Amino acid sequence: MNKHFLGDTAVLLGRSLRHISRSPDTIITTAVMPIAFLLLFVYVFGGAIQTGTDSYVNYLLPGILLITIASGISYTAFRLFLDMQGGIFERFQSMPIARPAVLWAHVLTSLVANVISLVVVVLVALAMGFRSGAGVLAWLAVGGILILFTLALTWIAVIPGLSAKSVDGASAFSYPLIFLPFVSSAFVPTDTMPGPVRAFAEHQPVTSIVNAIRDLFTEQPVGADIWTALAWCVGILVVAYVFATVSYRRRIS
């Protein structure tokens, strides 16, 4: 590891954060779709959905938070793609900087941007009647899971950002990620789903993460879900990181 890694990452992070602060629309558009889902499901469909809880917004929020992250990370692919297109990426590569810093700056930017979007979505949910008696530790645990999930999906986003041929290609990969929560316990309990769908829903990563966050919010014992959730997040993170690093090496050699 290059001795300038931390310093270079910090400088490049400052650059990307400046991009975000100058186009805050990326954070707004990231938050708009999850908020629209929140409104739609709570005020339109929610009355007809039987979840066994008295507040549908309480039930729904964990899944909405994951959708927020899934839509936010496409901007990482987008920004990375733009850097590759312009000459600035080559300029960085031809300079004596720590090369991984270029990627890490984008990843950390994604983290910052997603945290802001998540806070916005939580504030909207609070305004819509979301309430949780969760203590500081439970909130920290929720924050930790969401950060881990953001990192995992961001490293997935790095791959198309590095290898896409067009802007559309760079961000289109996130659509399946946005819709994954629909086939999970995020919107409705999985036990009303027909067999194969239910089997998929119960064994895909979103369900365990949603259940873990929901239990933390409602002060229930989290049980095995949290370990399954953490295993999924770490697993996706590691695999995506390896693939992203390989495609980065291929790109710069």
Partner 1 sequence: MLAAMSIPATTSQGQRPAIHVQGLEKSYKELRVLRGVDLAVARGSIFALLGSNGAGKTTVVKILSTLLRADAGTALVNGFDVATQAAEVRESVSLTGQFAAVDEILSGRENLVLIARLRHLRDPGVIADDLLRRFSLTEAGARRVATYSGGMRRRLDIAMSLIGNPPVIFLDEPTTGLDPEARIEVWQAVRELAEGGTTVLLTTQYLDEAEQLADQIAILHEGRIIVDGTLDELKRLLPPAEVEYVEKQPTLEDVFLTLVGARADKEQR
Q: Which of residues 119-148 bind partner 1 (CB under 8 A)?
A: none
**248 is an interface residue for partner 1 by CB under 8 A:** no
**95 is an interface residue for partner 1 by CB under 8 A:** yes
Q: How far is the CB of 241 from partner 1 (least distance, A)?
A: 24
Q: How far is the CB of 103 from partner 1 (least distance, A)?
A: 15
Spatial contact of 225 and 208, defined as CB atoms under 8 Å apart: yes
Q: Give residues with Cβ within 8 angstroms of 133, minimum separation 6.
A: 218, 219
**28 is an interface residue for partner 1 by CB under 8 A:** no
CB-nearer residue toward partner 1: 50 or 253: 253
Q: How far is the CB of 83 from partner 1 (least distance, A)?
A: 9
Q: How far is the CB of 92 from partner 1 (least distance, A)?
A: 7
Residue 164, phi-psi category: left (phi > 0), alpha (psi -120 to 50), beta (remainder): beta
Q: Which of 27, 60, 66, 97 binds partner 1 (CB under 8 A)?
A: 97
**12 is an interface residue for partner 1 by CB under 8 A:** yes
CB-nearer residue toward partner 1: 34 or 161: 161
Q: Of the listed pieces 4-12, 64-72, 156-164, 199-207, which binds partner 1 according to CB under 8 A? A: 4-12
**4 is an interface residue for partner 1 by CB under 8 A:** yes
Kindly state the tokens that stand for 212: 């873990």
Residues present in the chain in total:
253
Distance CA 228, CA 234 (A): 10
The amino acid that residue 120 corresponds to is: V
The amino acid that residue 78 corresponds to is: F
**What SS3 state is found at 36?**
helix
Kindly state the tokens that stand for 204: 């895909």
Distance CA 1, CA 106 (A): 18
